[in-house]
Amino acid sequence: MSFTGKYELQSQENFETFMKALGLPDEQIQKGKDIKSISEIVQDGKKFKITVTTGSKVLHNEFTIGEECEMEMLTGEKVKAIVQLEGDNRLVANLKGLKSVTELNGDTITHTMTMGDLTYKRISKRI
């Protein structure tokens, strides 16, 4: 299953609480909560390029499945991570105490981030 495509954020759960726990400033959280973000994924075999555009903020990460890479977190901090593919539709990474799971089902991507007992969920549809 190919992840390649553009996806628009449809809904998110627990955004404010999770971003506060990450340490993002309130002003940035308030600005970010109502902006529809667009995720663009380009998959070439085991190589991935992911660009998430939220207003004027652009987050860009590239990785190869199973290889260590540097990922930029929502806070702008860069951390080392290894992304694994589970089955043919789930990308899983652990970033500095944060577990990220991106699951593709048809034209819907569900991205769940878990930190301790806090979970943040984003649902995006292919456009």
pLDDT tens, residue by residue, 87-105: 999 999 998 889 999 999 9
- pLDDT category at 17 given cuts 50, 70, 90 is very high
pLDDT(35) > 90 = no
- The total domain count for the chain is 1
pLDDT at 32: 79
pLDDT at 28: 83
CB-CB contact of 12 with 113 (8 Å): no
Phi and psi for 27 in degrees, rounded to 5? -60, -45
* Domain hosting residue 26, numbered range: 5-126
CB-CB contact of 83 with 69 (8 Å): yes
pLDDT at 88: 92
With helix as H, strand as E and coil as C, how does 61-107 read? EEEECCCEEEEECCCCCEEEEEEEEECCCEEEEEECCEEEEEEEECC
Which residue has better confidence, 74 or 4?
A: 4
Write out the two tokens for 37: 């973000």
pLDDT(79) > 90 = yes
**CATH code for position 109:** 2.40.128.20
